[in-house]
């Protein structure tokens, strides 16, 4: 009789431990889906596609179920500037939980060549290196996409 109660008690404790672990893992992971979208080319059509990808994924999974980050560097940095045809859309999407990251290395290079640091659209953050940011996000389990 004692063995049956011990087995039930141990089984109950194991189930509770598994449930607690699952809850902690889910809380730490945040949204079920995570994606980083790279923009590194100057083509406005590519810029539009990248923003469409971000928007479509939010619609598909729901804003609370996906983390989206758009990382721009090199010749793609222009999409994150006020001069871009997509500037208003970038600003709007930044307010809808899409994170936009601009490469500081690219900005530094532009400043060295032109003497003027690029201005960024409201809501855009600066990261030390665009490629480094993509790598960090992939190490955190983000999927990768590029138009």
**DSSP letters for 45-65:** HHHHHHHHHHHHHHHHH-GGG
pLDDT at 3: 65
Q: Where are the domains of the chain?
A: 1-30, 31-145
Q: Look at residues 62, 63, 36 and name the one whose alpha carbon lies nearest to residue 147.
A: 36
Q: Give the predicted TM-score (pTM) of the model.
A: 0.81
pLDDT at 22: 47
- Calculate the CA dihedral of residues 66, 64, 28, 17 and round it to 10 degrees: -110
pLDDT string in tens for the chain (147-residue length):
566 555 556 555 445 555 554 444 444 558 999 999 999 999 999 999 999 999 999 999 999 999 999 999 999 999 999 999 999 999 999 999 999 999 999 999 999 999 999 999 999 999 999 999 999 999 999 999 999
pLDDT at 11: 52
Decide: residue 80, CB within 10 A, 0-12 exposed, 13-18 middle, 19+ buried.
buried
CATH for 31-145 is 3.40.1260.10
Bridge partners (DSSP) listed for residue 125: 101
- Calculate the CA dihedral of residues 85, 91, 94, 95 and round it to 10 degrees: -140
Contact 100, 124 (CB under 8 A): yes
């Amino acid at each position: 009789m004692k063995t049956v109660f011990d087995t039930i008690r141990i089984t109950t404790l194991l189930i509770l431990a598994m449930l607690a672990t699952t809850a902690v893992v889910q809380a730490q992971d945040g949204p079920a889906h995570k994606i980083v979208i790279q923009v590194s080319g100057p083509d406005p059509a590519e810029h539009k596609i990248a923003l469409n990808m971000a928007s479509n994924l939010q619609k598909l999974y729901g804003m609370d179920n996906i983390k989206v980050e758009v990382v721009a560097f090199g010749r793609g940095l222009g999409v994150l500037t006020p001069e871009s045809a997509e500037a208003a859309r970038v600003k709007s999407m930044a307010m809808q939980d899409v994170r936009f990251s601009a490469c500081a290395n690219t900005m530094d290079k532009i400043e060295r060549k032109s003497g003027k640091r690029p201005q960024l659209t409201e809501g855009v953050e600066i990261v030390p290196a665009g490629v480094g940011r993509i790598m960090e996000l992939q190490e955190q389990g983000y999927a990768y996409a590029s138009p």
